[in-house]
Amino acid sequence: MTAAEFQTICGVPGDALGQFQAYLEELEKWQRRINLVGAASLKDPWRRHFLDSAQLMPLLPPAAKMVCDLGSGAGFPGLVLAILGRGGGREFHLVESSERKCAFLRETNRITGAGAIIHHRRVEKLSEISADLITARALAPLEKLLQYAIPILAKHGQCLFLKGKGWREELTAAEKNWIIKESHIPSISDPSGTILKLEAISRRDRS
């Protein structure tokens, strides 16, 4: 996939495309020093990373003013969403425990002008946020993601998790311990993947 194809599919404005091109340049530069993404994925970054992340943008609820991306790593999907949502009245919080990955996120956030808020913190130690929407990609199995998300998810909040081909098994396992209103949207970047939209989440009563 080319940058132009990504722009067309996602309806990215010309100025934002320039920010994504700067993002990719930083990613390729930093990748030579630290492992941000799988090396093979950089053969097709516009599909594997940018389209994969940007497909969440139309799914963000209009009322979601605080978005929190867990385990942001190289900024997918959180920093991509921050660039696309710039000036829209939302806060985008990116949570990452690795100091070096946080350094990359801060520098790329500065270069792109995304305006995201970077937290160098383990997800388990994050307590001051009450997010309307929580996102994550390639961080942990769904059961673990819910353990991370629930303490910082607002009362009527939602989760959007990018998942690969094993998502059905993860959902079945998680539903043993959680009550979830779930819907799933086929991924446009990965035919075997899906976007899990979760809401009305609560722990099952084991008493």
pLDDT (tens digit, 9 = 90+) per residue, 102-117?
999 999 999 999 999 9
* CA–CA separation, 204 and 184 (whole Å): 21
Residue 31: pLDDT band by 50, 70, 90 thresholds? Answer: very high
pLDDT for res 63: 92
- Model confidence at 138, pLDDT cuts 50, 70, 90, reads confident
Q: Is the pLDDT of residue 206 over 80?
A: no
In which band, very low, low, confident or very high, does the pLDDT at 123 lie, cut at 50, 70 and 90? confident
DSSP 3-state of 176: coil
DSSP 82-121: HHHTTTSS-EEEEEE--HHHHHHHHHHHHHHT---EEEES
| Secondary element (H or E) of residue 198 | strand 194-203
Residue 178 in this model has a pLDDT that exceeds 70: yes
Q: Which domains does the chain have, with CATH numbers?
A: 3-203 (3.40.50.150)
Decide if pLDDT at 207 tops 70. Answer: no
Under 8 Å between Cβ of 68 and 132: no
Helix axis angle for 142-149 and 167-174, nearest 10°, is 60
What value does the mean pLDDT take over residues 126-152? 93
Q: Check: CB of residue 31 under 8 Å from CB of residue 94.
A: no
Under 8 Å between Cβ of 193 and 166 = no
Instruction: At 114, give phi and psi (nearest 5°).
Output: -65, -30
- Interval 32-76: pLDDT, tens: 999 999 999 999 999 999 999 999 999 999 999 999 999 999 999
How much is the average pLDDT of 118-136? Answer: 92
Average pLDDT over residues 160-166: 94
